Structure 1
């Protein structure tokens, strides 16, 4: 698969995104989206850019790439992922894929437990429909009572 060393200046182009997508697809992971943040960031005197990779199963990898082109930090689904093979990017990528595979069941289970938040702009019609139906039921019951009284008075 070749050694993946990023050129910091060229990260804004599609080359890095395509190389990452090819590598992960070759490792059996389906990449849905790759985004390279063009903003240069600094933390503890380390200058870096971030690359976000989203996979078909919903997992997300965030790679922090230094000016030298090395990946110095990896976040898997928002949590730090320590890598043993920091000097060998291909081995580091294999570690990332293994971590994704190992945590896939737990990640999917956590996704099923999250509840969808209904936006406040969406209004539910059920309470209004219920009150309309109750009013209609009450008027029908009154009409039935009137009909019964009419029948009794005719008899």
Structure 2
């Protein structure tokens, strides 16, 4: 019997573990990002945090808000890096229409899940999510503990 492990991308840069704790993730999408040069250099150095970030849809376009990218100390002197600026996400029209429809329904939001490299380009995995209530979080934690305990029992008995 194969164990179900969480899918993590092999070229992962950062992940938002708080998103799976606070939300039920229903659909996942891969989006490209419009970045400045200093941001790419900082991301290569691992100076990115998705913890407080979220996705906003304005004028039919998706934007990443609240993602924190710290500039390198050796960043160029002729630019003024904004660490938490809005960053445009690149999605095809069908995906955008689908996301807009989900956001307009009650209780749905779009959260970034992970950031990773694909062929030298930064990609962001986003998910349509529905908020968890406190009892849902407790049930998830209880289920997670039970799965871990079950694995221990199977390991020791086999």
Shorter chain as normaliser: what TM range?
Answer: under 0.3
**TM-score normalised by structure 1 residue count:** 0.23
**TM-score normalised by structure 2 residue count:** 0.23
Higher strand proportion (structure 1 or 2) = 2
Higher helix proportion (structure 1 or 2) = 1
Larger Rg, first or second structure (1 or 2): 1
Q: Which has the higher contact order (CA 8 A, sep 6+)?
A: 2
